[in-house]
């Protein structure tokens, strides 16, 4: 997952941190954003977070992998 997907809705893109934790079958993408931007990344009723998850899952599936997004505070 590239950071540009998350940079669009936030006010402080310099506070974005994305790291990958690779497992045997699944890669977990840990996303950290500034405190004031967390709500914007999650979105109303989690819609933005779900959309990010769908994009990540689709991109990983095209490569024959499994990926899971994780939002950390």
| Cα–Cα distance for residue pair 46/25, rounded to 1 Å | 26
What's the rounded Cα separation, in Å, for the pair 47 and 19?
A: 22
Give the pLDDT of residue 21. 92
The number of domains in the chain is 1
- pLDDT at residue number 45: 94
Q: Which two tokens stand for residue 17?
A: 């941190």
Q: What pLDDT sits at residue 4?
A: 75
Q: Split the chain (73 residues) into runs of 10 and give each run's mean pLDDT.
A: 75 89 90 89 91 89 89 80
Q: Is pTM, for the whole model, over 0.85?
A: no
Which domain CATH number covers 43? 3.30.300.20
pLDDT for position 1? 54
Domain that holds residue 19: 4-72
């Amino acid at each position: 997952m590239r950071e540009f997907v998350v940079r669009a809705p936030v006010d402080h893109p310099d506070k974005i941190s994305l790291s990958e934790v690779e497992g045997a079958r699944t890669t977990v993408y840990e996303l950290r954003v500034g405190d004031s931007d967390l709500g914007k990344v999650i979105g109303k009723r989690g819609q933005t977070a779900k959309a990010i998850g769908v994009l990540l899952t689709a991109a990983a599936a095209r490569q024959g992998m499994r990926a899971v997004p994780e939002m950390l505070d």
